[in-house]
Amino acid sequence: MGSHNIVRTSRKRDTTHIRNTAYLFLAPALLPILVFFFLPALAAFVLSFTDFDIYSLGDFRNARFVGLKNYLQLFDDPLFAKSMVNTFYYVLVGGPLSVAVSLGMALLLNSKLARFKGFFRTVYFAPVVTTLVAVAVVWRYLYHPRFGLLNYGLSLVGIDPIDWLGDPTWAMPAMILLSVWKSFGYNMIIFVAGLQSIPEELYEAARIDGANAWQQFTRVTAPMLLPTAFFVGIITMINNFQLFAEPYVMTQGGPLNSTLSVVLLMYQQGFRWWNMGYSAAIAFVLFAIILAGSLIQAAFQKRSALTT
Amino acid sequence: MTRRMALHIAMAVIAGLTLIPGLWMVSASLMPAGEASSFPPPFLPSRVTFEHYAELFTRLEISRYLLNSIIISTVVTAISLLFNSMAGYAFAKYRFAGRDKMFRFLIAEMVIPAQVTTLPLFLLLNKLGLVNTYAGVIVAGMATIYGIFLIRQFALSIPDSLIEAARIDGASEFRIYWSVILPLCKPIMVTLAIFTFLTVWNDFFWPLIVLTDDSMYTLPVALAILSGEHVRDTELMMAGSVITVLPVLVLFIALQRYYIQGIMMGSVKG
């Protein structure tokens, strides 16, 4: 074919031109990512080994390398320990709770009996897109011990008022309740997609074998949904590790530091006290934890991709 | 039949609980000052008043924050849509040395949480004189790895023959991107536009750091600061929350099909 040959030769002539065009297409996106994301991340690593503080802000030469001092200091810092305990509490209780609620809602929404699915989906999903700061402001009033709707609702079923944000025992559960409300719609959508990808024949086969609804759930739905649940669990955990706006707005980390999160501590150290070296070390501990979570996720996904 | 009813009652009750915070926010914003702090807590205003909205726009200059939010969110969305789509298309449809390595490296970078970059980024922008400017917020969002990824996945499905045909017709490479690729990518572009706009609008951490002067605040930053100063003005703060949330909520409801498709793409492929 003549025309085919013409395309071939012209293509050869154009390879360099096309490659250069590719770089031109990439540069506007990759340069900002390099300069405003990747290099700062590397610089943060360097920063975490310095004593960069307010004096270095005026002149960078005032900063000195201090080796592992910042990281060693973290181990002795009771506030850092407290922030880690708080954050892990939030992640390990709030994460699974959020995933469980999302799964339950996905099962309801995916039921064959359910109608008005579009309407309910929109309602459940709406909190996801709302502005976190505004939501935190609203919930601060909902949590008011005397005038808040939550305690009023609880009093109707005979529960005594709880000082949600003023009592160190209840402040973190209050953050968790808010996060479940705010995030369950997102995971629910992913679970619905997961449920819909399970072949109907598996349920038919189970019914022929005499499986009841519960057995169908444990033998078909649960194992088929496991990769989705794992994916959802990891993203929820990664998100929850970055807890910041809720305590910033609702409690400023209090009472008695019971809602001080790792990112809030990092923010205070870096941008309130300008201990930027120390703050960078906190940021890298956060990074290490998130990296570990992501690696577990990647390993799991690779394994499930090989087996299915 | 009864099972169906039980299911719908459960779904309706949960929907009600989900909506209560939002409904109360709107309702309280319309109450006369002080009414929300009475016992038992009223759910509806005894008399509807718009005085808190008026106060926000006159005395507290919320229109300034609203404008800041609109400018920053719109500019970031426009720029990042252009840059991400160019890069995503290049990764999908051009062959060049190191392409796959470069792409894998980019994807791997996604595990870096944004908080890690904030300290040096602040120092860099401080040197460049961009602290407390729109540009300071915008540069951090000019391109996103996730956006490049979404466009690339979508563009992979565009047949090469279309691009070849345009080349034979003598179209320039940029023209092919602009007139052939972009129209085909419209669904994913809409998805990415909503994602980006909502993310930037709702963002708090970075604007809080980089915007130091109160005339530059975005709505979330202004609301966080105001709510610290006006703890007792419940109704006023609810009006401020309504103004902050309403634009994104309306946008989501209007375009939710695209938004939800985007989540599923990200989760299935990511």
Q: Which two tokens stand for residue A52?
A: 């960069």
Same-domain status, A292 and A221: yes
CA A59 to chain centre: 36
Whether A14 and A148 share a structural domain: no
- pLDDT given for residue A42 in this prediction: 95
Q: Which amino acid is at B107?
A: I
Is A19 a member of any domain? yes
Q: Is residue A55 part of a domain?
A: no
Q: Is residue A62 part of a domain?
A: no
Q: Per-residue pLDDT for A3 more than 60?
A: no
Question: Which string of b and e fits A231-248 if b means at least 16 CB within 10 Å?
Answer: bbbbbbbbbbbbbbbbbb
From A216's Cα to the closest Cα of chain B, the distance in A is 18
Position A1 scores a pLDDT of 41
Average pLDDT along chain B: 93
- 3-state SS, residue B53: helix
Q: Residue B230's closest chain A neighbor by CA?
A: A137
Q: Are residues A146 and A267 in the same domain?
A: yes
Does A4 lie at the interface with B, CB-CB under 8 angstroms? no
Quote the mean pLDDT of chain A.
Answer: 90
Instruction: Give strand pairing partners of A65.
Output: A50
Separation of alpha carbons A301 and A296, rounded Å: 9
Asked if A122 lies within 8 A of B28 by C-beta distance, the reply is: no
Q: Is position A211 within any domain? A: yes
Q: Would A63 be classed as within a structural domain?
A: no
Amino acid B1: pLDDT? 63
Tell me: do A291 and A143 sit in the same domain: yes
Q: Is A48 helix (H, G, I), strand (E, B) or coil?
A: coil
Mean pLDDT of B130-158: 95
Residues 155-194 of chain A with CB under 8 A from chain B are 181, 186, 189-190, 193
Confidence of residue A304 (pLDDT cuts 50, 70, 90): low
Residue B264 has pLDDT above 90, yes or no: no
- DSSP H helices, chain B, are 2-29, 51-58, 62-93, 99-109, 114-128, 134-139, 145-155, 160-168, 173-175, 182-184, 186-202, 205-210, 219-229, 234-269
Confidence of residue A46 (pLDDT cuts 50, 70, 90): very high
H or E segment to which residue A54 belongs: helix A54-58
Query: Are residues A270 and A218 located together in one domain of the fold?
Result: yes
For the cut 50, the answer to whether the pLDDT of residue B269 exceeds it is no
Are both A32 and A99 inside the same structural domain?
A: no
Please judge whether A244 and B204 are an interchain contact, meaning their C-beta atoms are less than 8 angstroms apart. yes
Does residue A96 sit in the same domain as residue A146?
A: yes
- pLDDT band at A221, cuts 50/70/90? very high
Q: Name the token pair of B228.
A: 């610290």
pLDDT reading at B46 higher than 70: yes
Domain match, A7 and A136 both: no
A54 touching B, CB under 8 A?
no
User: Does residue B270 have a pLDDT over 50?
Assistant: no
Q: Which residues pair with A50 in a beta bridge?
A: A65
pLDDT for residue A190 is more than 60: yes
Contact partners, residue A44, CB within 8 Å, separation at least 6: A280, A283, A284, B116, B117, B119, B120
pLDDT in tens, A93-151: 999 999 999 999 999 999 888 889 999 999 999 999 999 999 999 999 999 999 999 99
How much is the average pLDDT of B43-71? Answer: 94
A206 pLDDT more than 70: yes
pLDDT, one tens digit per residue, over A226-250 is 888 988 998 899 999 999 999 999 9
Q: Is residue B67 pLDDT above 70, yes or no? A: yes
Q: Which of A15-19, B57-61, B199-203 has the lowest mean pLDDT?
A: A15-19
One domain, residues A80 and A35: no
Residues A138 and A262 in one domain: yes
What span, in angstroms and rounded, lies between the C-alpha atoms of A260 and A266?
10
Higher-pLDDT residue of B232 and B201 is B201
**Is A52 within the bounds of a domain?**
no
Residues from chain B that touch A283, judged by Cβ atoms under 8 A, are 113, 115-116, 118-119
Confidence at residue A13, expressed as pLDDT on a 0 to 100 scale: 53
Domains of chain B and CATH, by start: 1-49 (no CATH), 50-269 (1.10.3720.10)
Does residue A289 lie within any of the structural domains?
yes
Same domain, A119 and A183: yes
Neighbours of A28 (CB within 10 A): 16
Q: ipTM value of the model? A: 0.93
Confidence tier at B39 by pLDDT (50, 70, 90): confident
CA distance B265 to chain A (A): 10
For A66-74, the CB contacts below 8 A with 24+ separation are A66/A277, A70/A277, A70/A278, A70/A280, A70/A281, A71/A281, A71/A285, A73/A278, A73/A281, A74/A278, A74/A281, A74/A282, A74/A285
Q: Which amino acid is at A216?
A: Q
Query: Do residues A10 and A128 share a domain?
Result: no
pLDDT at A89: 97
Q: Which tens digit of pLDDT belongs to each residue from A140-179?
A: 999 999 999 999 999 999 999 999 999 999 999 999 999 9
The domain in which residue A38 lies consists of 2-47
**Per-residue pLDDT at B54:** 95
Q: Give the CATH number for residue A264.
A: 1.10.3720.10
Structure tokens given for A129: 């897109």
Residue A219: CB atoms within 10 A of its CB come to: 15
Instruction: Determine the pLDDT at residue A12.
Output: 56
Per the structure, the count of domains in chain A is 2
Q: Report CB contact under 8 Å: B121, A190.
A: no
How far, CA to CA in Å, does B141 sit from each of A25, A83, B201? 18, 29, 12
Q: Does pLDDT of B132 surpass 90?
A: yes
pLDDT above 70 covers a percentage of chain A that reads 94
pLDDT value of position A231: 87
